[in-house]
Chain A
């Protein structure tokens, strides 16, 4: 069954759509969630929530790529759960490492003057990533969207780990400049 057929079932409000989605993308979404939460049970719950979110979002949404659409939902749900569980203290794992790295791009402490619309910022970052070379953009996405480790990224793209680290470091600096220029980060 193709993505178009599955989306068609969502539009027809047929519940088989969720089963087909789970069959096709269950393992993939579980991997995305597990990368953030590092906990099988939490990850499975997030994935189950993903199907419900997708059911509610489609229609009116019509994903260009259903897998990425689901990955985004899973990622957000997983991060919400992560924050819920780690409000008191920071934990270890990949998510903490990623957050620490991203901290380089923003202020040392939270200094929110207004409500930031994640979507608006997301569009700005999308614009930023499109401005990178394809390889730099891909490395950035694999690290900060999919939470993949440096070794995994290096293997995926046939690069040395050190090279991946250099790319990420250079990209973070560039992102910081971009965010400053866009007014998301104070000087």
Chain B
């Protein structure tokens, strides 16, 4: 048999309806364009996804140095380079990962771990361990955010928009994430005039402290209840407000040598004072003591401070026991010279004048340390070695070196040596680390009978290996 063309034509009329419908839908030109756009969109999403993933995995991020973490309620939180955010409980030596993905910034308080990623702020509650988004901005509203936890548990979020070059700040409830107030109006960024809310507002106990720019924002007055806390002619830097323990340290504007950091110390009880931290900015501190790893005597003898009277405590009474007299205070870097203190381990005294080893500084007991420097180069190297830990009493300005007790621990991967380029303490434990190494060393602070820190006893050479 053979069909003719009419029958074939008629038979084509019996084609499946799905084929007919498909041919109706298809419009190659538009469809091709749609497919192209779809492919481009998919490719864009893929690239963004890969980039975001790589970014969060923290695999290729440069400059991933180790810094000390934060101690809250006896638990140590720290970021491990390329390996997420961890919590370490010294009590039982346990370690737990908090977040595997990398993040832009993180802070901890008694409620939870707060961290930001891109345009979102999250909190992981300590109690439940649950994570939730606390705050989020739209793509067009901002490029990224950062944040700072307030002493009262609220959060100040800075919303940056790099396209519009603007910044504004909102105050959030630290638990609910509710926006309580826009605390800084939209400002041009960078180069805005005045201070952001987070730069100008501090809480010290129940006290509300405000910085008010005077001549340019680098010179600020310190106000409390509308009254200045500064003397005539004094001003502080707006960007140097730091908490050690419950005290707020504001840096005076008058110092010329960065190794002499002159602070106004604001305390919750209102018993404010001034202090010169010799050897630069302290690395950590408690309500009563500051800790640093640079030998204060090296710097104290190197350069005379601008105002020697403020070497320890501006208006302190030299007659008080344990305090340095006005005459003694004329030179910075002085150490306690009382016999009792000199006999205490770790304290610098006349009886402890000779160096005890390579890791110990020359402790001649001279007031300025100048003789030490004349004796050899050793002191200079010690001053920069970061392998000693020094303690300064905030109330008196006295400082001394802490003894290091390595004990019989053999797992100290740091080479049985302190590397205290960064530190964190809560008064009981002290953690140290060096930026180019990954170890986080844990030390117990040993106090003498008078309740002053005298030594560090190694608890763990590397908490990551617990």
Question: At the interface, yes or no: A166 with Cβ under 8 Å from chain B?
Answer: no
Q: Which residues of B contact A116 (CB under 8 A)?
A: 1, 3, 7, 11
The distance from the CB of B67 to the nearest CB of chain A, in whole angstroms, is 59
The distance from the CB of B21 to the nearest CB of chain A, in whole angstroms, is 5
The distance from the CB of A162 to the nearest CB of chain B, in whole angstroms, is 15
Give CA–CA (A155, B26) in the complex, Å: 12
**B13 touching A118 by the CB < 8 A rule?**
yes
Q: Which of B1-23 contact A (CB under 8 A)?
A: 1-23
Q: Which of A97-138 contact B (CB under 8 A)?
A: 98-100, 102-103, 105-107, 109-114, 116, 118-119, 121-126, 129-130, 134-135, 137-138
Q: How many A-B contacts are there with CB distance less than 8 Å?
A: 147
**B23 touching A142 by the CB < 8 A rule?**
yes
Question: At the interface, yes or no: A1 with Cβ under 8 Å from chain B?
Answer: no
| B interface, over-half SS | helix
**B15 touching A122 by the CB < 8 A rule?**
yes
**B17 touching A63 by the CB < 8 A rule?**
yes
Which B residue sits closest to A74, measured CB to CB? B13
Asked, given contacts A121-B11, A122-B14, A134-B26, whether A68 binds B21 with beta carbons under 8 Å apart, the answer is yes
In the complex, which of the residues B1, B4, B5, B13 contacts A122, with contact meaning CB atoms closer than 8 Å? B13
1/0 per position for A134-178, CB-CB distance to B under 8 A?
A: 110110011011100000000111110000000000000000000
The distance from the CB of A102 to the nearest CB of chain B, in whole angstroms, is 5
In the complex, which of the residues B3, B5, B28 contacts A112, with contact meaning CB atoms closer than 8 Å? B3
Give CA–CA (A50, B308) in the complex, Å: 109
Which A residues form the contact surface with B (CB < 8 A)? 63-65, 67-69, 71-72, 75-76, 79, 83, 98-100, 102-103, 105-107, 109-114, 116, 118-119, 121-126, 129-130, 134-135, 137-138, 141-142, 144-146, 155-159, 179, 183-186
Which B residues form the contact surface with A (CB < 8 A)? 1-24, 26-30, 32
20 intermolecular pairs with C-beta atoms under 8 Å apart: A76-B13, A103-B5, A105-B5, A112-B7, A116-B3, A116-B7, A116-B11, A121-B7, A122-B13, A122-B15, A125-B14, A134-B22, A135-B28, A145-B15, A155-B29, A157-B28, A157-B29, A158-B29, A158-B32, A186-B2
